[in-house]
Structure 1
């Protein structure tokens, strides 16, 4: 148990909860993905409209493979929608597309949290590939310095997830405001559906933060134990 760390049970609980949240997101997304929005607009059309009305005509809307692979690329300046959301005029597609354009608007206004997340992404992804190895080697060889480096990297990952929360919540807020202001949420049912999809997606980011927190606490406990 000392090798695994005292927070291992918590990590397992959060892992199970994360799987349940992913399942919930899939169900909500699938449910509202089968319901057409009142204006019969595809995700691509909603994204194009929202971009143009926010002075972002230069940003293309592209289709990418997979399901729920939708994202905004701040480096290439593109809004990328999964196949289902790009071509389908559903409530889910409308909500997801507006959310991704929300990120493009954040980029336009240089939202501090988005800028910070962008600067952290590449070096952190490289660091996190090394973190488990450094931690394992440090524990096996009892080299405390390596364990503390691993702990620092897990701490940086926690910061990344913390910064991600306001970025994602704000993009959803922008999406709902736009859809309601433009009357694209044509009924109370559609408003409920769009909010349900975005709220379910938000839960996945909360779960990611909880997992990062538990992992950091676990590694920190191992590092402190190595000093004893």
Structure 2
């Protein structure tokens, strides 16, 4: 019932998301086969970078999955995936350094990270519940519910936007950290290629969210006609 021409609005973002995912998969696969000259695996690099930053209390854990690496600020844990924790490839070390970048952001109270962490609960609700509220509002012809749905989804859009500087900054920190440890420029180019592709996925997410918001606004106007 809710299939309509406004879905066309999302096509550019869908194409961008598919392209970004292709870049991540292809570049990570390529540089996963190229071993770094560091002589460290992902876990060893993470520990050394954390210690160098004075973050001795942050633990490192292995987590299942492919590229499920992340920094948990609440529990102060860096979790490394099956594909990075024991790997000494350029791709793996780049991803690991990126996560340490997040840990250092947390230590330095990097404002965009603080803001993003603060809106996470609302954003998680906004990404799913907002459309339910919005559609009910359309069915009941309730301007109040329609506005609530849009407002809640707007929080998710804000989350995707504030995520961009957080991720770009973490990647920038990662490259500086690896460079300061003496990683050769040729290897740094590989790290930059992998992290640049990963950044595209966040750009695609933000673009999708923004276009979804435009679609909501268009549908809400049509619903009042």
* TM bucket normalised to smaller: over 0.9
Does residue 210 (structure 1) correspond to residue 207 (structure 2)? The answer is: yes
The one-character-per-residue Cα deviations of 1:33-85 (angstroms, maximum 9, x if unpaired) are 11110112111111111100001010011110000101111111111111110
1:196 aligned partner? 193
Give the structure-1-normalised TM-score.
0.94
Taking the aligned partners of 1:224 and 1:114, their CA distance within structure 2 comes to 35
SS at match of 1:62: strand
SS at match of 1:86: coil
1:69 aligned partner? 68
The one-character-per-residue Cα deviations of 1:126-177 (angstroms, maximum 9, x if unpaired) are 2332111111111122112111111112211111111000000000010001
Unaligned residue ranges in structure 1 (runs of 5+): none
Taking the aligned partners of 1:7 and 1:175, their CA distance within structure 2 comes to 40
1:159 aligned partner? 158
SS at match of 1:57: coil
Answer whether contact 1:131 1:150 (CA < 8 A) is retained.
yes
CA RMSD across the alignment: 1.5
Give the structure-2-normalised TM-score.
0.95
Answer whether contact 2:126 2:155 (CA < 8 A) is retained.
no
Does residue 122 (structure 1) correspond to residue 159 (structure 2)? The answer is: no
Give the length in aligned residue pairs.
Answer: 225
Taking the aligned partners of 1:128 and 1:190, their CA distance within structure 2 comes to 38
1:131 aligned partner? 130
1:178 aligned partner? 177
